[in-house]
Amino acid sequence: MSSPAFRRLFEQLETRRLLASAALLDGTLRVSGDDNVDDTIVVSRNVTGDQVQVNINAGAPQFFTLADVKRIVIRGNSGNDTLRVDEVRGGLGNILVYMIGGDGNDSIEAGMERDVIDGNAGDDIIHDAGGTLTSVTGGDGNDNIVTGDGADWIDGGAGRDAIDAFNGNNTIAGGAGDDLLEAGAGNDIMDGGAGNDSLHSLAGDDRLLGGDGNDTLDAGDGNDTLQSDAGTNQLFGGTGDDSLIGSAANDILDGGEGVNAIQNTDTVTPPVTPPVTPPITPPVTPPVTPPVTPPVTPPVASPPLNTKPVKHPKKDKHKKHKKPKKQPKHDKHDKNVKHDKHDKDDRHDKCD
C-alpha cells in the first residue's frame, strides 16, 4: 500500500505529464508545455509536407493534417522554455501562429507565418523571420527582440530591452527601462517610453519619441519628426526635411541636411547653411531721352519790297487870289446901295 505522501507526489507528476500535450479542435491546434519545466516545443511540417508535426521535449512526435489546421497556439507555461517553428521542410503557409512563452527566460523563434508572440515575464529572446503580420510583446524583463521584413508591432514592456526591426512600416514601443530601439527602411513609429533610451532609424519618414529620460534620437534619411520629453536629450535629424521638438531641458538638436524646423529648445545646433549670395543686378540705366526740339516753323515770307522809286507828291500850287477891291462904304441908312458883284473875270492866279 502506498503512503499518502507518495500518492500526492504521483498525482502531481501525472498532472504535469498531462499539461504537455497537443490537440486539434475546430481548426485550432493547441500545443502546451509543462509547468515549472524547461520545455522544448518544435512545430514543423512532416517529411511529406502534408501534415503538421509537433515535437514536445523528447516525446514521440504527433501529426495533424495540414489542411485541417487554421491556427496554432503554442504555450510554454512557466519555466525557461524554447518554442520554435521550424521551416526546414517549408513554412506552414497562411496559418496564424500564437506563441506564448509564459514566465521564465524563454527563447521564441517564429517563421514566415502570421505571428503573434508574447514572451511574458522574464528575460526573453524573440526572433521572428518576418511574416505578413507580426505582433510581439516582450513583457516584463530585459528582452531581446528581432523581427524581419514586414509591418511589425513590437512592445518591449518593462525592462531594459533591445529591439531591432528590419524593413517595413514598424511600430515599436520600448516601455519603461533603458531601451535600444532600431528600425530599418520604412516609415516607422518609435517610442522609447520612460528611461534613458536610444532610438535609431534608417531610411523612411519616421517618427521618434523619446519619452522621459535622457534619450538619443537618430532618424537617418527621410523627412522625420523627432520629439523629446523631460531629460537631457540629443536629437539628430539626418538628411531630409525634419522637424525637431525639444523639451525644457538642455537638449542638443541637430537637424542635419535639409530644410528643418526646430522649436522649443534651449540649445540648438542647426545645420550650417552657407549664406545665400543674391545675384548681382547691374544698376538700371534710365533710357536717354533726346531733348524735345520744337518743330521749326518756316519764317513767313515778307512781301517783296517795292523797289520802284517813290514819287513824292507835287506841292500844291495854290492860286493866289487877288485882293478884292475895296468896296465903297455904304451908308448905313442907304438901303438902296447895292453891293457890286465881284468881277467874274477876277480869277485867282495860280501859284507859282
User: What pLDDT score does 326 carry?
Assistant: 54
What is the domain partition of the chain in residue ranges?
A: 16-148, 150-273
Q: Do the Cβ atoms of 161 and 173 come closer than 8 Å?
A: no
Average of per-residue pLDDT across 188-201: 97
User: What pLDDT score does 17 carry?
Assistant: 47
User: What pLDDT score does 275 carry?
Assistant: 54
The DSSP 8-state label assigned to residue 9 in this structure reads H
User: What pLDDT score does 305 carry?
Assistant: 53
Give per-residue pLDDT as tens, 72-113.
Answer: 999 999 999 999 999 999 889 889 999 999 999 999 999 988
Q: What pTM value is reported for the model?
A: 0.70
User: What pLDDT score does 324 carry?
Assistant: 53
- What are the backbone angles phi and psi of residue 44, rounded to the nearest 5°? -155, 180
If you average pLDDT over every residue of the chain, what do you get? 81
Report the alpha-carbon distance of residue 154 to residue 180 in Å, rounded: 13
Give per-residue pLDDT as tens, 202-238.
Answer: 999 999 999 999 999 999 999 999 999 888 999 999 9
- What are the backbone angles phi and psi of residue 339, rounded to the nearest 5°? -75, 145
Q: With bands split at pLDDT 50, 70 and 90, how would you rate the model's confidence at 325?
A: low
Q: Do the Cβ atoms of 213 and 194 come closer than 8 Å?
A: yes
Among the listed ranges 60-64, 128-132, 288-292, which one has the minimum average pLDDT value?
A: 288-292
Give per-residue pLDDT as tens, 10-36.
Answer: 455 444 444 689 999 999 999 999 999
User: What pLDDT score does 129 carry?
Assistant: 84
User: What pLDDT score does 348 carry?
Assistant: 47
Give per-residue pLDDT as tens, 139-191.
Answer: 999 999 999 988 899 999 999 999 999 999 999 999 999 999 999 999 999 99
The grid coordinates listed for 211 are 519619452
Report the alpha-carbon distance of residue 177 to residue 192 in Å, rounded: 9
Q: With bands split at pLDDT 50, 70 and 90, how would you rate the model's confidence at 285?
A: low
Report the alpha-carbon distance of residue 18 to residue 22 in Å, rounded: 10
Q: How far is CA 231 from CA 158, 166, 216, 222, in A?
A: 19, 29, 11, 26
